[in-house]
Amino acid sequence: MNEMRRYSPVSFEKQPVQTELRGLWRVALKYPQEGEGPHLIDLSHKPKWDVQSSALDTIQPFGVEIPKSPGRCKLMHGRMVCRMNATQARIIITGQEKNEQPNTSEFTDITEGHLLLALTGPNLFSITEKLTSLDLQNPEKPTPYLFQGPFAHVPCQVVVVKNKTDNCLLLLSCSRGYARDMVDAVFAAGKEADLRPAGEAAFIL
């Protein structure tokens, strides 16, 4: 009998040169000729949860307090918690995956249903301005910060983790059904900047 496997909705033209089996996921660690960036990294295997509650301010997922204001994010101990609105938050495990599983009705595991991409490297905003009208480089917003809106014409959540010209990091999440269109659009926009695929080993917070 074949063992169950989880498969990322994301695929790049190049094949990884180093992978690792992690739980049910085959994780790409390194791609050929990654260079110095900018890079597009598939992190769809990272655990993700949606949290919904009318008493959202009383919940501390994995010991991290949910920010009070929509759009604000908090990163602690490899866990990113983003406030989406008055009753909803999003959790992404950005560090080493844990076996922790919330066991209350407020949490919904969306790992399988949503892709997660990281854009990292210098001058990313010259790429993203071709894909969205969201003001991702707004200097008045303290990082990390969540934007919700169209990205490459796809309903998307975008977390700006780092916004320095020479050191940018964005996390992009949307429904897995948009994976091919999203990846194609990002690579097309990043062609002039020599955007390349990279493995998880290039993802550094």
Residue 79 lies in a domain: yes
- Verify that 32 and 52 share a domain, yes or no: no
| 137 closest CA partner among 172, 165, 166, 116 | 165
- For 152-195, the pLDDT digits (tens) are 999 999 999 999 888 899 999 999 999 999 999 999 999 999 99
- The structural domain count of the chain equals 2
Q: Which domain holds residue 168?
A: 20-45+112-202
Question: Which of 94, 109, 124 represents a domain boundary (last residue)?
Answer: 109
Residue 171: which H helix or E strand, with range?
strand 167-175
For the domain that residue 174 is a member of, what is the CATH number? 3.30.1360.120
Amino acid at 138: N
Residue 13 lies in a domain: no
Model confidence at 47: pLDDT above 50: yes
Residue 23: per-residue pLDDT: 81
- Verify that 72 and 134 share a domain, yes or no: no
Question: Which of 67, 87, 109 represents a domain boundary (last residue)?
Answer: 109
DSSP state, 176? G
- For 99-114, the pLDDT digits (tens) are 677 878 899 999 999 9
Residue 9 lies in a domain: no
- Verify that 79 and 38 share a domain, yes or no: no
For 11-166, where are the E strands, in sequence order? 18-22, 25-30, 39-42, 48-52, 73-76, 79-83, 88-93, 107-109, 114-121, 145-151, 154-164
Model confidence at 10: pLDDT above 50: yes
Under DSSP, is residue 181 helix (H, G, I), strand (E, B) or coil? helix
